[in-house]
Amino acid sequence: MSTERPIIRLRPGRARLVRYGFPWVYADELVLDRRTKNIPKGAIATLQDDKREPIGTVTVNTDSKIAVRLLDRDPAAVIDQPWMEKRLRQALTLREALFDAPFYRLVHAEADGMPGVIIDRFGDALVVQPNACWADVMWDVLERALVRVTGASVIVKNMSGRARVLEGLPEGLEVTTGAISAPVPVPMNGATYMADLIGGQKTGLFFDQRPNHAFAAGLAKGGDVLDVFSHVGGFGLAALAQGATSALAVDGSAAALELAQAGAEAAGVLDRFDTRKGDAFEVMAQLTKERAQFDVVICDPPAFAPNKGVLDKGLRAYERVARMASALVNPGGYLVLCSCSHAADIAKFREVSLRGVSRAGRDAQLIYTGFAGPDHPVHPMLAESAYLKSIAVRLA
């Protein structure tokens, strides 16, 4: 271990969770003297308990609420390209065991031992979100490790999103390896999705919903489907691939709906697919006025409760979604509701969703509870890594 590595120390009584593997240390849990505050953002340091006993190798950003992120429980670990390659190979081995095609989340941040780093794979192209400062500082090393482990010919560095803002990092987007000029076709659940890796939302496609897409699609055989907050057609295109009679995708983004139509055309189901651009709540209200009814209605909104400060407001929004969507479901039909809010756990989300269904005057049977797919593993000590939840109900 280098003698030049900075030392950062915990306050008394704060070491137990870190020893058990909890990957974050908040600023108020540290001894933040002048020396500590002067540690460069993204630096690798040794974490000590209050008795000066080393307990792990960490990265430091005292400008962030999460001031320390655990990289390795070994206090002598060297964070270099071989270390990164080892973590990436472990992540790749899991995904190759799960999927027969290279379209998946390759690295799910802390749950894959790479704090703050999200990597989605689209064939030989990778979209990387370096949402923690250390990954920005060591970008060149990370990029070389990725090419060596995966053989990727295209790497997109996506520097956008709330997480980077909280870290005090600049935003932007850059293709740092290779070149890409067109959306990438992604096969999933029998459908074809068009992922815009440059101008799309997040990394261009949401792999996390894969098992929930499959379940909802199974309910939709021979039926009419409404996919609200559809993005590039996630639920609707999967339903058409499994034999739905029709699917209507609703989203506020014209660009996302154009990609959804391109996916429908690529899969040969464009004649059964339609879109409507607009605010989801306004469109649902208009469909209710039109007395429209569907056999399966799916609502997969953005995070209404990304943090605890807006939890109550977010829960009210989820209840409103459930109430409005319930009015659009045929008797005996199905309603699928999703949340990607970190602050709203499954119990709270299920409670407000079912209350919304009840307030719509509908009797319900809860038939399914779903989460993110296995390429989005959960860190056992970090509830935030289990952010996605979904329920399905049958409405009388």
The CATH number of whichever domain residue 352 belongs to comes to 3.40.50.150
Q: Are residues 55 and 93 in the same domain?
A: no
Q: Does a structural domain hold residue 361?
A: yes
What lies within 8 Å, CB to CB, of 34 at 6+ separation is: none
Q: Are residues 130 and 199 in the same domain?
A: no
Q: Does a structural domain hold residue 244?
A: yes
Q: Does a structural domain hold residue 342?
A: yes
Q: Are residues 65 and 137 in the same domain?
A: no
Amino acid at 198: I
Query: How far apart (Å, rounded) are the C-alpha atoms in residues 256 and 200?
Result: 8
Closest listed residue to residue 391, CA positions, set 355, 379, 383, 360: 355
Q: Are residues 234 and 172 in the same domain?
A: no
pLDDT at 112 (0 to 100): 98
Query: How far apart (Å, rounded) are the C-alpha atoms in residues 285 and 129?
Result: 36
> Domain ends where: 162, 177, 192?
177
Q: Are residues 218 and 163 in the same domain?
A: no
pLDDT at 3 (0 to 100): 52
pLDDT at 200 (0 to 100): 80
Q: Are residues 45 and 171 in the same domain?
A: no
Q: Does a structural domain hold residue 217?
A: yes
Low-confidence ranges of the chain (pLDDT < 50): 1-2
How many domains does the chain divide into?
Answer: 3
pLDDT at 244 (0 to 100): 98
Q: Are residues 172 and 204 in the same domain?
A: no
Are 50 and 56 in contact by the 8 Å Cβ rule? The answer is no
Q: Does a structural domain hold residue 219?
A: yes
Domain of 12, in residue numbers = 7-72
Indicate the SS3 state at residue 59. strand
Q: Are residues 158 and 13 in the same domain?
A: no
Q: Does a structural domain hold residue 1?
A: no
Query: How far apart (Å, rounded) are the C-alpha atoms in residues 103 and 313?
Result: 35
> Domain ends where: 53, 72, 91?
72
Query: How far apart (Å, rounded) are the C-alpha atoms in residues 256 and 201?
Result: 8
Q: Are residues 387 and 294 in the same domain?
A: yes
Q: Of these residues, 133, 299, 338, 340, which one is catalytic?
A: 340
Q: Are residues 269 and 203 in the same domain?
A: yes
* CATH code: domain of residue 48: 2.30.130.10
Other C-beta atoms lying within 10 Å of the C-beta of residue 321: 26
Query: What is the C-alpha R_g of the chain?
Result: 22
Closest listed residue to residue 5, CA positions, set 49, 64, 82, 60: 60
Query: How far apart (Å, rounded) are the C-alpha atoms in residues 44 and 217?
Result: 46
pLDDT at 162 (0 to 100): 87
Site of tokens 């074809």: 192
**Catalytic-residue membership of 133:** no
> Domain ends where: 158, 177, 196?
177
* CATH code: domain of residue 168: 3.30.750.80
Q: Are residues 289 and 345 in the same domain?
A: yes
Query: How far apart (Å, rounded) are the C-alpha atoms in residues 135 and 116?
Result: 8
Query: How far apart (Å, rounded) are the C-alpha atoms in residues 282 and 219?
Result: 26
Q: What is the pLDDT of residues 132-149, one digit of tens each?
A: 999 999 999 999 999 999
Question: What distances in angstroms separate CA 311 from CA 95, 241, 274, one per listed residue?
Answer: 33, 36, 34
Q: Are residues 162 and 44 in the same domain?
A: no
Are 259 and 236 in contact by the 8 Å Cβ rule? The answer is no
Are 111 and 95 in contact by the 8 Å Cβ rule? The answer is no
Backbone angles phi, psi at 56, to 5 degrees: 175, 165
What lies within 8 Å, CB to CB, of 334 at 6+ separation is: 216, 219, 295, 296, 297, 367, 392, 393, 394, 395
Q: Does a structural domain hold residue 2?
A: no
Q: Does a structural domain hold residue 263?
A: yes
